Amino acid sequence: MMRDDKMWRKKSYSRALVSALAIDGGLDDEAMELMDELLETWWEHLAKNKLRRRYYEGENMLKDLGISIPPALRSIETVVGWPKKAVSALSSRIRFDGFTAKDEEVSKELARVVKTSCLKRKHRQAVESELISGCDFVTLSRGRAGEPPVIITTHSAEDSAAVWDQRLGRIARGLVIMDYDETSGAPVELALYTATRTVHAYVDEEGAVGYESMPHKMGQPMMVALAYNPTEAEPLGQSRISKAVRSLTDSAVRESLRTEISAEFFTSPQKYLLGTDGDPFEQKTKWEAYIGNIFNIDMNDDGSVPQFGQLSQGSMQPHTDYMRALAMRFSGETNVPVSQLGVIHDNPSSAEAIYAANEPLIIEAQTLIDDNSDAMVLVAQMALATYRGVALSELTEEELDILPHFKSPAMPSVVSQADAMVKIAAVVPKFPGTSVFWEMLGFSEDMRNRTKSEMEAGDNREALIAIMGGGQAGADESPRG
């Protein structure tokens, strides 16, 4: 395999930065060794991560088998967006909606952190990258002057690397590439995350190398992994754009190009003219001969009349059938319903049939929510400790009792959800007074808070009116002098 010179330059420049930090920056040996190790890990996975990104963006190259596609037509750009659909169909069902906690003050602090860090939007973006590369990383840091007290950032695996601690079930150490040189594409700003500190290394505009070491009290790196479908062998997850997905996409791209070529021949059926002397259309272009309405053909010298005919057109049905077969295989691999792949498969389905078709994808979404929930709890706990400026171990059990809230991946309609809630409330009369009732109705955190405030204000107003009314009534009943 021919190496990509640009990629190799990027690797050598990355190592050059680490060496420069050792010489000019004065960074200690331990940090140097960890940076070198993690840059190597990043480099080893970079090619595969970029390959998956190309499939996601629809930029994968045509893999021609050299049989049915003419060489002159191989350069026609053909795009099949199935890998992106495999990602977006699942990620659209993962909707993070903030944190809930037993401690009211903790809930308020975390709500501020979520809002100032735009965590809902960042989580949505992180899930997209998590499904493409297999994992995404969430990092935390204390804000500088003029910034929010806690900075939460997400990073794609294309710009990050981490070593997993199998025994403790968390990241042992991690690295994020914060910025690249515009000319060479080499990293010029790194962040190293360890259990005791975060090291920020950089090259400034003048080419000088420097670093900043920021100790913390978390007892673990301030870096958390969101992993899709993790296993013991792959604790940092697996890409949803798997080898099978890429292979089926390659087949679909070839079939799309074959269909495009066949469609051209389908619209211009082959015609023939028998019994002529020479070429009667030698003065016309092929296009003029094709669109001509009237042809004037002279009789042959022997008085015979040339015979005109047309070959039967090739059918497009085999192409349609093969694309449908590929779509069904892709659906079986990703749980994305065939109807979402742009292939007409069946008559319009009932609501029950549509739900049944989406059920495997809903189950997969719920599994992803469960996996991400553990990571988001750790993010919330470290965010709370950073917000208060204390060690993670200094938080009480009640303060650590935090749960992330996700909307239902089934995405039920308001009518069906309200009907289910009313039936539950009929059995449990106190249920409508709980926050869970409003969560299950699909109300966002902001809507729940507003509803609660307005209901409390209404209760207070009614109580005040009752008191005032009671006082007036008492005054009316008092004897007159």
Could you tell me the CA-to-CA distances from 108 to 98, 114, 124, 396, 447 in Å, in that order? 11, 10, 22, 17, 15
The yes-or-no verdict on residue 203 having pLDDT over 50 is: yes
The yes-or-no verdict on residue 271 having pLDDT over 80 is: no
Strand 307-310 relative to strand 209-215: parallel, antiparallel, unpaired? unpaired
Predicted local distance difference test score (pLDDT) of residue 310: 67
Predicted local distance difference test score (pLDDT) of residue 475: 46
For 378-392, how does the pLDDT look when each residue is reduced to its tens digit (9 = 90+)?
999 999 999 999 999
Q: Rounded to an integer, what distance in angstroms lies between the CA atom of residue 229 and that of residue 127?
A: 12
Taking alpha carbons only, the member of 407, 331, 320 closest to residue 366 is: 407
The yes-or-no verdict on residue 396 having pLDDT over 80 is: yes
Q: Rounded to an integer, what distance in angstroms lies between the CA atom of residue 225 and that of residue 229?
A: 12
> Mean pLDDT, to the nearest integer, of 4-29?
58
Predicted local distance difference test score (pLDDT) of residue 481: 44
The yes-or-no verdict on residue 416 having pLDDT over 70 is: no
The yes-or-no verdict on residue 292 having pLDDT over 80 is: no
Backbone angles phi, psi at 293, to 5 degrees: -95, -35
The yes-or-no verdict on residue 5 having pLDDT over 70 is: no
Report the run of H or E that residue 97 belongs to, with start and end: strand 96-101
CA atoms 407, 410, 414, 418: torsion sign? negative
Band of the pLDDT at 175, cuts 50, 70, 90? very high
Looking at the chain, the whole-number percentage of residues with pLDDT higher than 70 is 67
Predicted local distance difference test score (pLDDT) of residue 2: 39
Band of the pLDDT at 36, cuts 50, 70, 90? confident
Predicted local distance difference test score (pLDDT) of residue 73: 64
Could you tell me the CA-to-CA distances from 453 to 228, 434, 464, 467 in Å, in that order? 38, 14, 16, 21
- Kindly state the tokens that stand for 106: 């903790």
For 208-258, how does the pLDDT look when each residue is reduced to its tens digit (9 = 90+)?
778 889 999 999 999 999 999 999 999 999 999 999 999 999 999 888 888
Which range (183-192, 194-203, 338-347, 438-447) has the least confidence? 438-447
For 90-109, how does the pLDDT look when each residue is reduced to its tens digit (9 = 90+)?
999 999 989 989 888 999 99
The yes-or-no verdict on residue 120 having pLDDT over 50 is: yes
For 304-333, how does the pLDDT look when each residue is reduced to its tens digit (9 = 90+)?
666 666 666 667 788 888 899 999 999 999
The yes-or-no verdict on residue 51 having pLDDT over 80 is: yes
| Mean pLDDT, the chain, whole residue set | 80
Predicted local distance difference test score (pLDDT) of residue 194: 96
Band of the pLDDT at 87, cuts 50, 70, 90? very high
For 73-86, how does the pLDDT look when each residue is reduced to its tens digit (9 = 90+)?
666 778 889 999 99
**Count of helix runs (H) and strand runs (E) in the chain:** 13, 12
Predicted local distance difference test score (pLDDT) of residue 145: 86
The yes-or-no verdict on residue 431 having pLDDT over 90 is: no
The yes-or-no verdict on residue 407 having pLDDT over 80 is: yes
362 contact partners, CB below 8 Å, separation of at least 6: 93, 409, 410
Band of the pLDDT at 461, cuts 50, 70, 90? low
Predicted local distance difference test score (pLDDT) of residue 21: 59
